[in-house]
Amino acid sequence: MLFNHWHPPPLGWIKINFDGALRRNNSAGVGWVVRDHKGSFLLAFGNSLQHWDAAQTELHAVKSIKFVKRDWMSEALGVLIEGDNLNIIYLLQKDIKSWKVSNAIDDSLDFLLDFKHVIFSFTNRLGNKLANLCSNLVVDGSFVWEDLQGTSIPSSFLNCLKEECETLEVP
Is residue 95 within 8 A of residue 87, CB to CB? The reply is no
Q: With beta carbons less than 8 A apart as the criterion, state whether 85 and 17 touch.
A: no
Is residue 3 very low, low, confident or very high in pLDDT (cuts 50, 70, 90)? low
Q: What is the pLDDT of residue 77?
A: 97
Taking residues 43-50, report their average pLDDT.
85
pLDDT of residue 136: 87
Does residue 135 have a pLDDT over 60? yes
59: pLDDT confidence band, cut at 50, 70 and 90? confident
User: Band of the pLDDT at 25, cuts 50, 70, 90?
Assistant: confident
Name the percent of the chain in helix, strand, coil, to the closest 5: 40, 25, 35
More confident residue, 127 or 76: 76
Contact (CB, 8 A) for 17 and 33? yes
- Residue pair 114/74 in contact by the 8 Å Cβ criterion: yes
pLDDT at residue 22 in the model: 75
Q: What is the mean pLDDT of residues 136-146?
A: 84
Residue-wise pLDDT for 63-92, tens only, equals: 889 988 999 999 999 999 999 999 999 989
The amino acid that residue 130 corresponds to is: L
- CATH code: domain 14-166 is 3.30.420.10
Q: Give the residue with greater pLDDT, 139 vs 72.
A: 72
The torsion angle over the Cα atoms of residues 116, 30, 11 and 166, rounded to 10 degrees, is: 180
Dihedral, CA of residue 53, residue 141, residue 122 and residue 70, to nearest 10: 120
pLDDT of res. 27: 74
Residue 103 has pLDDT above 70, yes or no: no
pLDDT at 1: 46
User: Domain boundaries in the chain?
Assistant: 14-166
112 vs 34, residue with greater confidence: 34
Helix ranges, 21-170 (H): 54-63, 65-68, 71-74, 86-102, 129-137, 155-166
pLDDT at 71: 93
